[in-house]
Amino acid sequence: GAVVSQHPSRVICKSGTSVKIECRSLDFQATTMFWYRQFPKQSLMLMATSNEGSKATYEQGVEKDKFLINHASLTLSTLTVTSAHPEDSSFYICSAPSLVSHEQYFGPGTRLTVT
Amino acid sequence: LAKTTQPISMDSYEGQEVNITCSHNNIATNDYITWYQQFPSQGPRFIIQGYKTKVTNEVASLFIPADRKSSTLSLPRVSLSDTAVYYCLVALGSGNTGKLIFGQGTTLQVKP
């Protein structure tokens, strides 16, 4: 089946620095990808829709200047957490919709810890 | 996007059949019902999807009544490795934006 990868799988950074997370569709093209955030013991929260060749669409309450999304190709979307703070520590997951069904393919997630 | 309601948690024992029901009263005509499984520190994994009646695959069955306002995920003979969070989602069919809004999910604990 289709696979979505994320890199890195886990990252630790200092407060105030920026961190980039990559999401790749490995064997299919994805004009749209989605970014989610998940805090411990909670559900996934949709952050934004990444659109290839155009600006991302952010969900209400998500700061677009803090969570920069770039979808430069049909197989890669990146999420950059700028000026990270400890409260940004979370599990970040991306997904891409199937081209042939209504299924979403999810990446394995990236654990971000800000110290 | 249709809101879904599921039990927060369920307990079962190995070898039993588990049925998790999800309510989605505001489901639209074009919406499909999809169930995902998530293990700790992993991305969700697709289990099954349906539009109406019954769908069965190698891991589960999905029962959808005629009014489609609810659905039931059935896991036959669960094992300890089925301990996970199960999410019921409703999303648009035709013209699918792919946008999914996750509810709280059901935490299934399978005991030996």
Q: Which of A23, A20, A19, A7 is nearest to A115 (CA)?
A: A19
Residue A113: per-residue pLDDT: 98
Structure tokens at A48: 């934004």
| Residues of chain B falling short of pLDDT 50 | 94-95
From chain A, the residues in CB contact with B39 under 8 A are: none
Asked if the C-beta of B105 comes within 8 angstroms of chain A's C-beta atoms, the answer is: yes
Torsion-angle region of B51 (φ positive above 0: left; ψ -120 to 50: alpha; else: beta): alpha
Residue B96: per-residue pLDDT: 52
Cα separation, A62 vs A77, whole angstroms: 17
Residue A98: per-residue pLDDT: 84
Residue B93: per-residue pLDDT: 53
Structure tokens at A68: 């920069």
| Residues of chain A falling short of pLDDT 50 | none
Asked if the C-beta of B45 comes within 8 angstroms of chain A's C-beta atoms, the answer is: yes
Cα separation, B42 vs B24, whole angstroms: 26
| A49 contacts B97? CB cut-off 8 A | yes
With an 8 Å Cβ cutoff, the interface of chain A facing chain B consists of 4, 6, 32, 34, 36, 43-46, 49, 91, 93, 95-97, 101-109, 111
List Cβ neighbours of B12 (8 Å cut-off, separation of 6 or more). Answer: B18, B78, B108, B109, B110, B111
Residue B94: per-residue pLDDT: 45
Residue A39: per-residue pLDDT: 96
Token look-up 């099954």 returns: B48
Give long-range contacts, CB 8 A cutoff, 24+ apart: A57-64. Answer: none
Q: Which of A7, A22, A14 is nearest to A79 (CA)?
A: A22
